[in-house]
Amino acid sequence: MRECYGRRYYHNGRMLDCQHFDTHLVFEGESVYEVIRVMGGTPLFLEDHLQRLHQTLLLRKERAGQSDKEITDAVRHVILANGILEGNIKIIFNFDPGHVRSSHFLVYRVEHFYPGPEMYARGVKCTLYQAERPQPTAKIFHHHLRLTIYNKLIETGMYEALLVNRHGYITEGSRSNVFFIRDNTIYTAPDTMVLPGISRGHVIRICREQSVPLKLQAVPMEDLPDMDALFLTGTSIKVLPVNIVDEHVFSPSHYLIHTLGQEYDKVIDDYIRTHKL
């Protein structure tokens, strides 16, 4: 599977040709990463991504050899060199555990799949999957887990896998965060159990500003049938309703999903207006 798209990518201070991209710099060793959506040529919520990047590095007892300005400049170079108006870019800090001083800083364009209007209207299908990431609050590339889940989704025709931990709680999606709605109250797993998604953080803030009842509480798998609705959040998907989880059917048209989706789009528009390159 191809990893780097576009014409040029950034590696340790140099812009290079994507034809010579070395995937070993991503899949070998340990890769701390961020995926950022570009809209209108603007990398969305870049400051939030940088903050989470540093938090993950701290958890892994690593540090970035570049300043935030250097990282930001690299992101801008990749956007401009590839003429990206809409798309996703990835930031990688790769560490070779066998060589203390060996590290690689990369920024490059990755393939993206954005939901179409019909998916926002009808919702998407999900499946439950018994798995949990070793350190859920850290954004680290787990190649084997990602590949296993990817193959499961291909086999089942599902859009996303909702991870169920060893205690039977639904925590997060394999590439998204998940929110449940019951009696007009929103439930999502607490920060300590999941990756603190950037979109998730904005949706939680919107809930609090709009006085939408919110509980940071994981949903047990056996309580899934009692939920009125659920939705996913993520860099590429924004706020995306779910209509099926295995044999359970849910309405994708709950008013809270629509309201939060609209408010999140306003947050994006405001950010683009005030952060143009």
Q: Where do the structural domains in the chain lie, given as residue ranges? A: 5-110, 117-272
Per-residue pLDDT of the chain (277 residues; tens, 9 = 90+): 689 999 999 999 999 999 999 999 999 889 999 999 999 999 999 999 999 999 999 998 888 889 999 999 999 999 999 999 999 999 999 997 665 555 899 999 999 999 999 999 999 999 999 998 888 999 998 888 888 999 999 999 999 999 999 999 999 999 999 999 999 999 999 999 999 999 999 999 999 999 999 999 999 999 999 999 999 999 999 999 999 999 999 999 999 999 999 999 999 999 999 997 6
The residues, ordered by sequence, that sit 6+ positions from 32 with a Cβ below 8 Å of its Cβ are 53, 56, 57, 60, 62, 92, 93, 94, 95, 138, 139, 140, 141
Q: How far apart are alpha carbons 149 and 125 in whole angstroms?
A: 14
Q: Write the DSSP assignment of 214-268 as a string of letters.
A: EEE-PEEGGGGGG-SEEEEEETTTEEEEEEEETTEE--TT-HHHHHHHHHHHHHH
- Domain 5-110, CATH among 3.40.50.2300, 2.130.10.10, 3.30.470.10, 3.90.245.10: 3.30.470.10
Is the CATH code 1.10.3720.10 the one for domain 117-272? no
Helix axes 198-209, 46-59, angle to 10 degrees: 120
Would the CATH topology of 5-110 be identical to that of 117-272?
Answer: no
For 213, the token pair is 């009842």
Beta-bridged to residue 170, according to DSSP, are 164, 219
What ranges make up the beta strands (E) of the chain?
A: 5-11, 14-17, 30-39, 42-43, 86-95, 103-110, 124-130, 160-164, 169-173, 177-182, 185-188, 214-216, 219-220, 229-234, 238-245, 248-249
Q: What is the pTM of this model?
A: 0.94
What number of other Cβ atoms are within 10 A of residue 74's Cβ? 23
